[in-house]
Structure 1
Amino acid sequence: MMWLVTFLACIGLICAEEPFNHKVHNGRVIGGHDAKPNTWRWQVSMQYDSYNDNSYYHICGGSLIDAFHIMTAAHCIMSMDPSLYRVVVGEYNMYNYDGSEQFLRVERIVVHPGWNGDLGKGNDIAILRLADPVYDNGYVAIAELPYPGETLPHGFTCTITGWGLIDYMGNVPAILQEAPLDVVEHSVCSQYDWWGSVALETMVCAGGDGAISGCQGDSGGPLSCYTNGAWRVHGVVSYGPAGMCNQYKKPTVFTRVSSFLDWIFSVINSA
């Protein structure tokens, strides 16, 4: 089990992009395609300045959940110093400035109190409070959220979006990617030849066909599902398999947003 914990903590989707010998924006959802501009308007890019020299690079995705707050994954938090982060909303092409972007400083970071660094224990969720509010420039939208405790049926098709790696070699197309992922219900995802005991009921599994998946750099980003007449963020990208991210019976695993609504709103209201 200790090996599994190490495996989950450091490989695949799990880790935010650590700084290394070059600064590049991460690539795309594996098996995805370019999203249409101005479609997934609650998607954000979470960026980090590892040398504190105003040189930011993408590490994770996130979702805009009100004018001041971003929802992301707890494992994306590489430092509790908010000055090292910025959030970009209205982003589409990482390499171009299109005039749709807003670059926002982070004022406060709140990590779920149940997060202990072990992805198999869940609670992989965090909220960033922005120093200034997002304004409606026509390229942003506040994410709709699911109902408390809401679950999705097996085979329900959702969409993953992000700028995560296309493969383990690190190809890096700059445009926001999207791909369909079918939900794998907990009774299946928790089977021993799928994710076993590290798939909890507070998580959503989606994918596992061996072709389409999230990957490193997608972490923290949304799983958007059309339910009850609206696109809603049902999941926060949490973990996936080692090596190639798109492995058969190893779906992308998301923090289930409907399990954490009380905590999310308590953080927002405390501000």
Structure 2
Amino acid sequence: MIWLVVLLSCFGLICANEPLSYKVNNGRVIGGSDAKPNTWKWQISLQLDSYNEGSFSHICGGSIVDSFYIMTAAHCIISSDVSQYRVVAGEYSLFEYEGSEQFTSVEKIIIHPDWNGDLANGNDIALLKLVNPIYDNGYVEITNLPYPDQTLPHGFTCYITGWGLMDYNGSVPDKLQVAPLDAVEHAVCSQPEWWGSIALKTMVCAGGDGVISGCQGDSGGPLNCLTDGVWRVHGVVSYGPAGMCNQKFKPTVFTRVSSFLHWIYSVMDQAL
């Protein structure tokens, strides 16, 4: 199954490529719709200035876990030069300045120590320490995280949000998209006809109905779940199928946040 992951890195949602000349149309994220403005306040756009020309393009999503820290996927880090990145909080339309945005530079990139570039090995998670803190302007919010080792029941409906591709032709939305995804328990997702051995217990599978999915550009973004009466980010978008993103029995796979809480808190505590 490892060869499939290699293909995914080029064609699936898991790849954070150099910014492309995307086109905008009136379609929707795969199976999703325009999010209601000012709802998913912890969602950010991670943007890259590939040539240090002051021109930033969206490459990945992420979540605000602290006023100084953003959680995203390790595979989204395609340059070690912090000056090439910026975080945009309070974003809704990528192609329109709305006055709600906060543009913040990155001071430090902290990648999980066990990440080795192999998606099948897991640990696809990173934290970005910001130069300046994100402040409450009414359009941003620090996310709630799950409890340690908390898992989602099979079929539990969560929501993926992001500005990822809407189709195989490379179209992206202007506005933040949201789509429901049902959790697929590990016992199912690890079956051979699903993701097999590359679906680890430190991952969350969601979707796989062949209709709704995340796609490239959603990487690093949140899996939002209403658990215990509170919206929590249970997953970080990690990988999906090669080719068409919405394939039956190939759900979007997320890094399970509840498996990495000790590392997340230890990184943030070191800065105190």
TM bucket (normalised to shorter chain) is over 0.9
Q: In the alignment, which residue of structure 2 is the partner of 1:132?
A: 132
Q: Does 1:265 align with 2:262?
A: no
Q: Does 1:109 align with 2:109?
A: yes
Q: Deviations over 1:125-164 (max 9, x none)?
A: 0000000000100000000000000000000000000000
Deviation at 1:188?
0.1
Write the distance in 1 (CA, Å) between the matches of 2:52 and 2:243: 31
Q: In the alignment, which residue of structure 2 is the partner of 1:232?
A: 232
Task: Give ranges in structure 2 of 5+ residues lacking alignment.
Answer: none
Matching residue's letter, 1:188:
V
Asked if 2 retains the 8 angstrom alpha-carbon contact of 1:166 and 1:215, the reply is yes
Q: Deviations over 1:215-239 (max 9, x none)?
A: 0000000000000110000000000
Q: Does 1:220 align with 2:223?
A: no
Matching residue's letter, 1:137:
N
> Which secondary structure state, in structure 1, belongs to the residue aligned with residue 171 of structure 2?
coil
Q: In the alignment, which residue of structure 1 is the partner of 2:164?
A: 164
Q: In the alignment, which residue of structure 1 is the partner of 2:97?
A: 97
Asked if 2 retains the 8 angstrom alpha-carbon contact of 1:31 and 1:212, the reply is yes
Deviation at 1:10?
2.6
Matching residue's letter, 1:38:
N
Question: Closer, same or farther in 2 for the Cα pair 1:48/1:35, shift >3 Å?
Answer: same
Deviation at 1:6?
1.6
Q: In the alignment, which residue of structure 2 is the partner of 1:61?
A: 61
4+ aligned runs moved over 4 Å, structure 1: 23-28
Q: In the alignment, which residue of structure 1 is the partner of 2:188?
A: 188
Question: Closer, same or farther in 2 for the Cα pair 1:183/1:236, shift >3 Å?
Answer: same
Q: Matched residue pairs, number? A: 270
Question: Closer, same or farther in 2 for the Cα pair 1:214/1:98, shift >3 Å?
Answer: same
Q: In the alignment, which residue of structure 1 is the partner of 2:155?
A: 155
Matching residue's letter, 1:212:
I
> Which secondary structure state, in structure 2, belongs to the residue aligned with residue 187 of structure 1?
helix
Q: Deviations over 1:165-223 (max 9, x none)?
A: 00110112200000100000000000000000000000000000000000000000000
> Which secondary structure state, in structure 2, belongs to the residue aligned with residue 219 of structure 1?
coil
Deviation at 1:109?
0.1
Asked if 2 retains the 8 angstrom alpha-carbon contact of 1:45 and 1:62, the reply is yes
TM-score scaled by structure 1? 0.96
Q: Deviations over 1:60-119 (max 9, x none)?
A: 000000100000000000011111100000000111110000000000000001100000
RMSD, aligned CA: 1.5
Question: Closer, same or farther in 2 for the Cα pair 1:28/1:269, shift >3 Å?
Answer: farther
Write the distance in 1 (CA, Å) between the matches of 2:259 and 2:168: 31
Deviation at 1:8?
3.4
Write the distance in 2 (CA, Å) between the matches of 1:166 and 1:4: 22
